[in-house]
Amino acid sequence: MSDQVEEVRRVRFYGPNDMATGLFVQRVAELVKAFDPDEPPRSTADILELHNVQQYLEHGFLPLGYTDEERDRALERIPAIRSAVARHFSAMDEVGFAVAVHGVGREYSADLIDLLGRNGVFRRIPSTTVLPALYAAGAHLGDMLASKKLVDAYDAEMFDELRNAPRGAEHLIRRYLQADVREEVHLPSSLTPAAARAVIERYIDGVDANPNYVGLIATAKNTPQVGVDAKLRLRARRRSKQMTEAFFAENSGLKTGCDVGISETQNAPVTSEVDTSDGWIARYRYSRRWLEESCDYPSILNNFQHLFGFVDQQALLVLPSYPAQLGVMERIIGTTGKHEYKVGAEFQSTDIRTMLQTRLYHFFLDSKGIELEWVIAWFFEKYLVEQFGAKGFSFTPSDRNASHLQRVRHLFVEMESAANQYNQYVQEGELDRELLEVASEQVRYREIPSLVTGKYLYPTGSDDLNAIIHLLFSDQSSLAYINEDLKSDSAARLLVENEVAYDDFEDYQRPSIDFLIEQDVVRNTGSRVCIINPERFQILAALFSTEAANFFHLSEAGRAQAGAMVAKGWTTRRSSLLTDAEADYFNYMLNSVDFSNGPRLRNRYLHGSQANRDSEDEHFATYINALRLTIALVVKINDDFCIASSHQQANPFHA
C-alpha cells in the first residue's frame, strides 16, 4: 500500500461537527473489533490512530447499522484503548525516542505532542533529543508552541527556536495581534518584550515576511507584550507599502471601481449599470433636471437618503461593513487583527460610491451657490424647531474661503458638537448651553440615546434563531442547492423564486426543512415549500443583512411578529440613535476607541497629527468624508425625531 493511500486510510478525529467525521466510521469499527488489549499496536503511528479511534467512541460515532449489543461492546473498549495509549507513551525513554516517533507524519503531529506532554515525556527526556526528533517526524514550530507542557519544560530552548526561525515572529503575531486563531500559542517565559520586538523588527525587514502579517503589525493597537508601538507600526506600514508596490509592479490585477456623473438628457432621477468591458465598473448617472428641481434644503437631504441610497428601507445606514456582505473567500482568506474592522469588496464598493456621490453633489450645489454645510445648519437651527419644536440646536458652517485643512477641523468639531447636543437633548428634554460646555466630551457613538423606547430589534444569540438565519440566508446553507435547475445564492431566494416541493430536496436536506417547518418559518403545501409569514421573513432578512431591524419601520403586522420573536427569546429590543453596527462604523472612521485599522479621521485632524506636507487634495478628500459622515448623522437624527413624533413610518424632512 502506498504512503498516500495509507494516509487516507488513517483515522482522524476532526471534531464532532466536522463533515469528514463520517468518512472514518467504518474504519473505526474495524479497528475496535481487531483491538486486543493484550497485544496492542507497537508503532507510535498505530497508537496515535487508536487514540483517534478512542475519540470516535467517546462521541458515539459508530456505524448506523450497529445493534445495541454491538454498540455496547464497542464502547466497553474505551478504557482498554486509553490504557494502551498511556502505557505506550509512558514507556518512552531517551534511548529509543527518535526511533519511536520516526515516521509519525504531519497528520498526527498535534496528537503526538499532546500525548507526549500528558504522559510526562518532556520532563523525562532532554530537549536535545526531543526537538530534533519531532522536527524529523514532521512537526512544526507552531505545533510545539501549542503545547504548554513542552514550552514550560524547554523554555530556553524554545526561546532560541522562536528567535532563530525566519518566521518566528508570525507566532508572536498570532498570539497577540491576530483574531480567530484556532490553535493556542504558548510562549517561553524567558521571552521579554524587548526580545519579542527584536524578533518582529527582523521579520518586518526580512525576505520571508508575509504581507498579511506585516499588515497586522501596521494596524495593531499598542501591544507592550511584544513591543508594538507607534514606531513599530510606522516601520511595518512603510514595509507594507513597499511590498504592495512591488507586487503590483509584477501583477496588473483587475480594474474595479465606480463612476458617477450627471446626464443632460436623462429623465429618470438615477440609472445604474455595471460595465464589465474592462474590469468591473459600477456606473451611476443622475438627471440634471431632477437635481436642479430639488435644490431646496429639504430635498437636498432627501436626495442623500433616497437618490443616493445612504440608508435602506428601514433607515439603517448602508455605510457599515456587515458580516453578511463578506464572500466565502473573504471570510476564509487573509488574516484579521484582534482589533480590526473587517471589510470586504462590498464595503469598499459602497464606500467609494457614497464618497463620489457626496463629491459630485458638493460640486453641483456649489455651482448653484449652495454649500452643504448651510443645509446641515438649516436642519439643526430651523427644521428641528419648526417641525418638532426642538429649540437650541446650533451648527456653524465653516468659512468657505478657508483652506480645506481648516474646514475639515471645523467640521469635525461641529459634528461632534451636534452629537453632544443631541445626547443632552434626549437625556434632559432641552438644551442647556452652560451644561453642554461643562459636560461635553468625546462622543461615544454607541451610547448616543434615542427619543423612543425599543427602537431596534437585535438577535439574542438563540441557537434556533441562528440556525434559521443560516439555513435561509447564508451562502453556505445546505439548502441553497438541490440540482442544476434548482439552485440559488441562498435558500430564501431559492424558495421565493421557484416552486420547490418537499420531495425535491435530498434526504440529507429534509431534516433542515423539517426544522424550519417546526419553527413556523416555512410550510409544506404539498406542491411547494413556501415562506409562511412575510413580516417575520422581513425581520429575519434584516437581522442577517444589517444585524438589526428598526421596529418602527415595520408594519403593524411586522411589529406583532417582532413582539412574538421577543417572547420566544430570539430577539431583544434596545434603544440608541445608532445601531451597534452603525456605531462601530463611526468609531472605525473617526477614532481608535474600538478598532486599530481605521483612518481615525477625527483624531488625526483634531489632534493635529496629520502631516503638514499633506496636499490640499488630500485635505479636500477628508472634507468630503467629513460631510458624508455628518449627513449620515443628520439622517439618523431626523429618523429618530420622526419616529418619536408619530410612532409611524417616518416621512423624512417633510411635515
In terms of domains, do 429 and 309 share one? yes
Q: What is the pLDDT of residue 3?
A: 45
In terms of domains, do 306 and 404 share one? yes
In terms of domains, do 8 and 132 share one? yes
Q: In the numeric block, which cell numbers belong to residue 186? A: 504558548
Is 310 within the bounds of a domain? yes
Is 259 within the bounds of a domain? no
Bridge partners of 397, per DSSP, are none
In terms of domains, do 500 and 615 share one? no
Q: What is the pLDDT of residue 266?
A: 93
Sort 9 into a burial class: Cβ within 10 Å, 0-12 / 13-18 / 19+: exposed
Number of domains the chain contains: 3
In terms of domains, do 113 and 14 share one? yes
One-letter amino acid for residue 254 of the chain: L
Is 62 within the bounds of a domain? yes
Instruction: Find, among 430, 415, 397, 388, the residue nearest to 654 by Cα.
Output: 388
Q: What is the pLDDT of residue 596?
A: 86
Q: At which of 547, 562, 591 does a domain end? A: 547
Torsion sign across C-alpha atoms 429, 432, 433, 435: negative
In terms of domains, do 442 and 309 share one? yes
In terms of domains, do 336 and 402 share one? yes
Q: At which of 492, 523, 547 does a domain end? A: 547
Q: What angle do CA 10, 180, 164 make, to 5 degrees?
A: 75
Which domain range does residue 529 map to? 456-547
Kindly report the backbone phi and psi dihedral angles of residue 330, in degrees, each rounded to the nearest multiple of 5, phi listed first. -65, -30
Is 51 within the bounds of a domain? yes
Q: What is the pLDDT of residue 241?
A: 92
Q: What is the pLDDT of residue 449?
A: 96
Q: What is the pLDDT of residue 333?
A: 65
Q: What is the pLDDT of residue 23?
A: 79
Is 268 within the bounds of a domain? no
| 309 C-beta neighbours (distance < 10 Å), count | 16
| Residue spans of the chain under pLDDT 70 | 1-8, 17-21, 252-254, 328-334, 608-614, 648-655
In terms of domains, do 382 and 528 share one? no
Give 609's contacts (C-beta < 8 A, 6+ positions apart): 603
In terms of domains, do 431 and 527 share one? no
Instruction: Find, among 316, 344, 308, the residue nearest to 580 by Cα.
Output: 316
Is 72 within the bounds of a domain? yes
Distances (CA, A) of 297 to 9, 73, 373, 398, 444: 72, 80, 11, 18, 29
Q: What is the pLDDT of residue 364?
A: 96
Q: At which of 496, 521, 547 does a domain end? A: 547
Dist. CA 180–CA 326, nearest whole Å: 16
In terms of domains, do 412 and 484 share one? no
Dist. CA 488–CA 502, nearest whole Å: 17
Is 574 within the bounds of a domain? no
For residue 550, the surrounding DSSP H or E stretch is strand 549-550
Kindly report the backbone phi and psi dihedral angles of residue 271, in degrees, each rounded to the nearest multiple of 5, phi listed first. -130, 155
Cβ atoms of 340 and 596 closer than 8 Å: yes
Instruction: Find, among 97, 178, 162, 167, the residue nearest to 134 by Cα.
Output: 97
Is 464 within the bounds of a domain? yes
Q: What is the pLDDT of residue 613?
A: 56
Bridge partners of 457, per DSSP, are 549, 573
In terms of domains, do 404 and 497 share one? no
Is the overall model pTM greater than 0.85, yes or no? no
DSSP tally for the chain: helices H, then strands E: 32, 8
In terms of domains, do 314 and 385 share one? yes
Q: Which residue has the cell 527584536?
A: 198
Dist. CA 362–CA 623, nearest whole Å: 11
Helix (H, G, I), strand (E, B) or coil at 459: strand
